[in-house]
């Protein structure tokens, strides 16, 4: 179980190999990678900057990860989130979950992403293809995605 906030890119294959190294109890690994698109709400995107709340970010991610560990039998999990300047095609976030069977790994990965989006203190500022900058607005659908897990508690 670990979380990282970093400027550098991550290598999904290397992260999965490190997480599974020497383990023989893992039967299923699910990875989710979030990436920067060149279009958002019909607007061309040239890049974005990710700001966060150092300290609170790490504690929120650890809290969300611990909650996933309580709900599903996970052998391991990892959250990596990038900050700073990113371009279309760049990786933003990585979630990896490992379990004995696929159901827990799939469900926990989806839960981690939904809760991360609803509670981890990151803010995206997009730079449009026209050079204009704007803060990305939170989507109501993201809050709804997190709430459906709360109802299952």
Partner 1 sequence: MPVKIRYFAWVREKTGKAEEVLDLPPDIETVADLMTWLKALGPEYAEAFARSDVIRAAIDQAHVKPTASLAGAREIAFFPPVTGG
- Contact segment (CB under 8 A) with partner 1 among 23-31, 37-45, 52-60, 96-104 equals 52-60
Copy the structure tokens of residue 73.
């039998």
The answer to whether 101 and 29 have CB atoms below 8 angstroms apart is: no
Nearer to partner 1, 75 or 96 (CB): 96
> Quick check: 113 binds partner 1 (CB under 8 A)?
yes
Over the window 90 to 109, marking each residue x when it contacts partner 1 by CB under 8 A and - when it does not, the resulting string is --xx----------------
DSSP string, 40-76: ETTEEEEEEEEEE-TTHHHHHHHHHHHHHHHHS-EEE
Instruction: Using CB atoms within 10 Å of the CB of residue 94, give its burial: 0 to 12 exposed, 13 to 18 middle, 19+ buried.
Output: buried
> Quick check: 23 binds partner 1 (CB under 8 A)?
no
Nearer to partner 1, 124 or 127 (CB): 124
Which of 19, 29, 50, 76 forms a contact with partner 1 (CB under 8 A)? 50
The residues of the shown chain that bind partner 1, judged by CB under 8 A, are 34, 50-53, 55-56, 59-60, 81, 92-93, 113, 116-125, 135-138, 142
């Amino acid at each position: 179980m670990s979380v990282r906030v970093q400027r550098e890119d991550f290598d999904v294959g290397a992260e999965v190999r490190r997480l599974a190294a020497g383990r023989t109890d893992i039967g299923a690994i699910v990875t989710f990678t979030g990436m920067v698109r060149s279009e958002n709400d019909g607007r061309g995107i040239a890049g974005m900057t990710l700001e966060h709340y150092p300290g609170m970010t790490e504690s929120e991610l650890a809290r969300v990860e611990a909650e996933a560990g309580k709900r599903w039998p996970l052998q391991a999990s990892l959250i990596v989130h990038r900050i700073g300047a990113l371009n279309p095609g760049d990786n933003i976030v990585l979630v990896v979950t490992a379990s004995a069977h696929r159901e827990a790994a799939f469900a926990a990965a989806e839960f981690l992403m939904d809760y991360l989006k609803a509670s981890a203190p990151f803010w995206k500022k997009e730079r449009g293809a026209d050079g204009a900058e704007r803060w990305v607005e939170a989507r109501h659908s993201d809050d709804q995605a997190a709430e459906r897990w709360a109802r299952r508690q």
